[in-house]
Amino acid sequence: MPKRPKGSHWNYRFCCETVPDGLGDHEEVWTLREIYYDAEGKVNGFSKEPMHAQGDSFIACAKDLAKMQDGLQGPCYIIDGSTISEMPRGERFRKVLARRMRGVADG
């Protein structure tokens, strides 16, 4: 694993991107990604592939999953190819996601 520059950090965030649907059209897909920040807190990268919970034990995997759930509390991002931008807070997709997640949590 490469050494991070001093002051840099990362966290999990939910991202929306438009991808080919295999039928000649496109669809919006939500994924969970690692988002990387520089020492000033500005986004300077994201994981190439969506993330999944993992660990070397059940407890480690559960802790990773808890960190992923924390991603719901922060901003969502829009991925367009190799670029990433913060989704405006009022964006309708964020509201839809929040409603769906409440429904999942409520059972």
Q: What is the pTM of this model?
A: 0.72
Q: How many CA atoms lie within 13 A of 35 on its CB side?
A: 25
Consecutive sets of 10 residues in the chain, 107 residues long: mean pLDDT of each?
A: 68 90 86 94 94 96 93 89 86 62 58
Residue 1 maps to a domain: no
* pLDDT confidence of residue 102: 63
Please tell me the predicted confidence (pLDDT) of residue 1. Answer: 45
> Contacts by 78-84 with C-beta closer than 8 Å and gap 24+?
78/15, 78/16, 78/17, 79/15, 79/16, 79/17, 79/33, 79/46, 80/17, 80/18, 84/15, 84/35, 84/43, 84/45, 84/46
Is residue 15, in this structure, part of any structural domain at all?
Answer: yes
Domain count, the chain: 1
Q: Tell me which residue range forms the domain holding 101.
A: 9-106
